Structure formats: C-alpha cells, structure tokens
A = this chain, B = another copy of it.
C-alpha cells in the first residue's frame, strides 16, 4: 500500500487497480483488505486523506512518516512464502492421473506461459512510456523477471512433452 501511494497519491480503488495491473505478476492484495489497511495507516499517521472536491472518494498520499516507514519495510528481511504449485503436484502424481491428462496440463502450461510473454511485452512498452526515469530500471527488472520465468516455463513444458511422447512411443511399440 505504502509503495503504491509512493508513486503517486491515489484512491483505494486505484491502488487495487495498480496492484492487479502493474504488480499483478508478482503481488496480490484482496479487495477486502485495502480499505481496512488504509484506515489503519491513516490512524498511524502514515498516509493523509485528502478529500478532493470534484470526484467522489478521497485521494490518499504518503506523509513523511509514511515515506520513512516504507523505507523501513523495504529494508526488512524478505520472507518467502511456502511454495504451492498445484500443477507440479498433479504432474508428480501423474502415474495416477494418466499420460493423456498430464499432456493436457503441460500443453496448457506452455500456452499460458506463451500468453504471459505477450502480456509482458505490452507491459514493458507501458513501463517505458509511463515510468519516471528513476523508477524505470527497477520496474523493467521486475518485468524481466516475469519474462525469464515465462520463457523458462515454455521451454520446460516443451521438454516435458517430448519426454512423455518418447515414453509413450516406447511402451506402445
């Protein structure tokens, strides 16, 4: 939240959009958490609610204390979330699921990753067009992370499909 507001002051609704559009490939917040968090931040004096006359709702902006807190939080050690990859879990127990179903999973994974690559291309163009000069290199690094991960998934899925096909032929012969 603090990070989003550090880019520019905006409404809670806009924060939600920013998270699902720009940060969507590496971060998520549920809708029901944004407003309570915003209220808590306001109570702590980290954000300031500026009710704009014209439009409905209110723009929130970081206070100096909010900026300081953001820097603090960013410097905190990174806690990694435990992995939960349902696709790999299914493939691991592929023997019970059957080769055909596994092939479908892999084809879907390949197609998803290819579609993601296209989205990253668009996102990259957007960042180059919109981002501040100071932000741009960092934002591009996160886009690049997505691109590398997606490209790796395409390569992996193709390789895995070949493996299964080769095995299928062997047992069929």
State the A residues within 8 Å of B (CB).
3, 6, 23-28, 67, 70-71, 74-75, 78-97, 101-102, 105, 132, 134-135, 137-142, 144-145, 148-149, 151-153, 155-156, 159-160, 163-164, 167
Asked whether A94 lies within 8 Å of B138 as measured between CB atoms, the reply is yes
Whether B97 contacts A74 by the Cβ 8 Å rule is yes
Stoichiometry, as copies per complex, reads: 2
Q: Is the CB of B88 within 8 A of A75?
A: no
Whether the Cβ atoms of A27 and B88 lie closer than 8 Å is yes
A-B pairs with beta carbons under 8 Å apart, 13 shown: A3-B96, A23-B89, A24-B83, A27-B85, A27-B89, A28-B83, A67-B96, A78-B87, A81-B84, A91-B138, A95-B138, A141-B163, A145-B160
